Each structure stands twice: as C-alpha cells, then as structure tokens.
Amino acid sequence: MADKSKIEWTEATWNPVTGCSKVSAGCKNCYAERLARRLQAMGNARYRNGFEVTLHPDLVDLPTRWRGPRLIFVNSMSDLFHEKVPLAFVQRVFATMRSSPQHTFQVLTKRSARLRALAGQLDWPPNVWMGVSVEDAGALWRVGDLCAVPATVRFLSCEPLIGPFDELPLDGVHWVIVGGESGPNARPMRTKWIRSIFRQCRRAGVPFFFKQWGGVRKDLTGRELGGRTYDEMPGRLAVPAQGEQAELVPA
C-alpha cells in the first residue's frame, strides 16, 4: 500500500488483501501478479505467499490514520470481491470506508456477479465509487451487475482495452477509464476503439479518462489523444470545442 500512487486516476492505494486469480482475457498479463512475484523474491513479508489471496487484517483501518483527504484505490493488488475473501472481511473494509468520510474510495472488480450478490449485505457510504473492469465485449455483462448496486458513483475501467465496444451500456454509469495494456507481451489497442468509446461517452454525458496508450514502454507512448490529455472525473466533464471531437485521435 502507499499514501501516494503513480496510477493516473487515483492518489493512493490501500491493499487489505493481496493476491488474485485469473478470470478473463484481461487478466492474461496481470501487472499485479508480476509485481507480487517480484516483491516475494525481494523478501517482502506482505507477499510471502506470492500471488495467492492473502488477507491483511492489520491494514483494514489504515485509511483512518491518513488525515488529509485522498482518492484511494482499494486493492490495487487484488480483488475485494474474490471468492476467497470472506463476506465478513469485505464488510470490515466497507466499515472503514464509511468511517473515513474525508477520503473517496475507488473499488474495482472483475467479479461482478459476487459484487451483485453481496451488495445487499454491505453498508454503502456515499464516498465509495464502485467499478468493474470491461476489457472487451465478452465482459460487458459485468456492467449490468454494476448498475444493480447502490454506489454513489459507478464506473468502468476499459483497461487493458483489447477489443472494440460498438455499444457500451452507459445508462447508470458515471465515469469511464480507457487504457492500453503495458509491460511484456502487451496486446495492441486500436485507435478506432478509443474513438468509439469517447464518442459514446460524449453522447451520454459521461466523463472520459484516458489513462495511457500502453505498450512495452508506456513511458514512450504517453497518454495524449489528439495532442491533449483527458483527465475527466465524475462531476467534472470537459466538453471539447466544436469540431474537436472529430480531431480527437489521428487516423
């Protein structure tokens, strides 16, 4: 965990759970798995189990000790709704989020079916943003599960974007993040896929955040679209000037 993060759409990370397992195509080149193996080799006690799901009860109340308000990505190294995380532990995490109203918590899952199943047993405070990962059209069913939960902000993370979305269901969605895969064996992201998502977001009035182009060297590919960055957040939608949309991404 860290009270500062290099992830573009958050400010800090909090990992009361580490480790995960693959559930869909977006997991193929998981960055968290690579990092966990590296930390295990370095002797980091938090990763003594490598990428096996591991609970860290002593970290559950960590955000209560951070005084200044932060955007906090919950479980950047795991999935809070993994089937190996007991409901009681998930409830403890939610209790911490409720007791820390100075922060905004961003929870992201690929296990939307369990999210939906447990939602009624969780106490949803207004400072929790809930999201699902949708990497290609085969994962779109997760959006329906997301929209069934009573989160104040519901968002989609289209990262790694590995396929097109001709019709992205945005009714009930408040934010969309798009990013290409990075690191070894990164799969390519097509410009036309990004353009389509952007236009759909504009039509629906949904803020659009472009995280990165990705690739083996994401530091070289950057995160600009058509010469500008898109860092829109829920409640902050920057509508481009007339004609800018067509020029957003070079052909």
Tell me the pLDDT tens digit for each residue of 120-161. 999 999 999 999 999 999 999 999 999 999 999 999 999 999
- Which pLDDT does position 251 carry in this prediction? 40
- Under the banding of pLDDT at 50, 70 and 90, the label for residue 240 is low
- Which pLDDT does position 237 carry in this prediction? 65
- Which pLDDT does position 165 carry in this prediction? 97
Complete DSSP assignment for 175-212 = EEEEE--BSTTPPP--HHHHHHHHHHHHHHT--EEEEE
- Which pLDDT does position 61 carry in this prediction? 98
- Which pLDDT does position 2 carry in this prediction? 67
- Which pLDDT does position 226 carry in this prediction? 86
Tell me the pLDDT tens digit for each residue of 191-222. 999 999 999 999 999 999 999 999 998 888 99
- Highest mean pLDDT out of 16-20, 234-238, 242-246: 16-20
Q: Are 77 and 32 in contact (CB under 8 A)?
A: yes
Among residues of the chain, what percentage have pLDDT more than 90?
88
Single-letter residue type at 205? G
- Which pLDDT does position 4 carry in this prediction? 77
**Which of the pair, 245 or 84, is modelled with greater confidence?**
84
Surface-to-core class of residue 76, CB atoms within 10 Å of its CB (0-12 exposed, 13-18 middle, 19+ buried): buried
Q: Are strands 128-133 and 153-158 parallel, antiparallel or unpaired?
A: parallel
- Three-state DSSP at 133 gives strand
Tell me the pLDDT tens digit for each residue of 80-110. 999 999 999 999 999 999 999 999 999 999 9
- Which pLDDT does position 142 carry in this prediction? 98
CA distances to 8, 178, 242 from 155, rounded to whole Å, are 15, 11, 27
- Which pLDDT does position 70 carry in this prediction? 96
The residues pairing with 14 across neighbouring beta strands, listed in sequence order, are 74
Average pLDDT value over all residues in the chain: 93
Tell me the pLDDT tens digit for each residue of 154-194. 999 999 999 999 999 999 999 999 999 999 999 999 999 99
Q: What is the mean pLDDT of residues 38-57?
A: 98
Using the predicted structure, report yes or no on whether residue 245 has a pLDDT greater than 60.
no
Q: Are 132 and 115 in contact (CB under 8 A)?
A: yes
Single-letter residue type at 85? V
Among residues of the chain, what percentage have pLDDT more than 70?
92
Q: Out of 70-79, 195-204, 218-227, 231-240, pick the least confident.
A: 231-240
The residues pairing with 130 across neighbouring beta strands, listed in sequence order, are 107, 154
Q: Give the predicted TM-score (pTM) of the model.
A: 0.93
> In the chain, where do the E strands start and end?
12-14, 17-18, 54-55, 71-74, 104-109, 128-133, 153-158, 175-179, 208-212
Ordered structural domains, the chain, with CATH? 12-247 (3.20.20)
